[in-house]
Amino acid sequence: MKGRMLKKGDLILIGIVVIAAVAFIVPRYWSGQESEKNHIENRVVHIEVDGKAYKTLPLTEEEQLFTIQTDKGFNQVKIHDGGVEMLDADCPDKLCLGFGFVTRPGQQIVCLPHRVSVFIGVESGEELEVDDVVG
């Protein structure tokens, strides 16, 4: 049995798919990287305990370690490289450690047993970007 040769139509279809993929990926990659770097100076990390403001820290590239100590336990937060992550906690389930490294306004890390919430926001006067609208 002979190998099947690609026809002219097949090559055109493959070319269209590749061009479409590049057209969607490249602008998103470039604009995402530049806008993230350009707007980091306007972002802050808000920490709430029991639904009340606890502390607000600047979002920086430089490493900052911060421990939240409450009567329910402790959570250790690390701000670095334009994002924030929960490094350690003494809660029983440790689900808050699974949120990973968050970098965008509106993203949040929550520790329910300690009632701690850490989220990225923007300085007042600036609006959050909307990722998607559900109707």
- Give the integer Cα–Cα distance in Å for 60 and 25: 27
Backbone φ and ψ of 16, nearest 5°: -65, -45
User: pTM value?
Assistant: 0.64
Q: Which two tokens stand for residue 2?
A: 């002979």
pLDDT in tens, 124-135: 644 444 455 554
Q: Which two tokens stand for residue 63?
A: 């490493």
C-alpha to C-alpha distances, 61 to 3, 49, 50, nearest whole angstrom: 55, 25, 28
pLDDT in tens, 72-113: 999 999 999 999 999 999 999 999 999 999 998 989 999 999
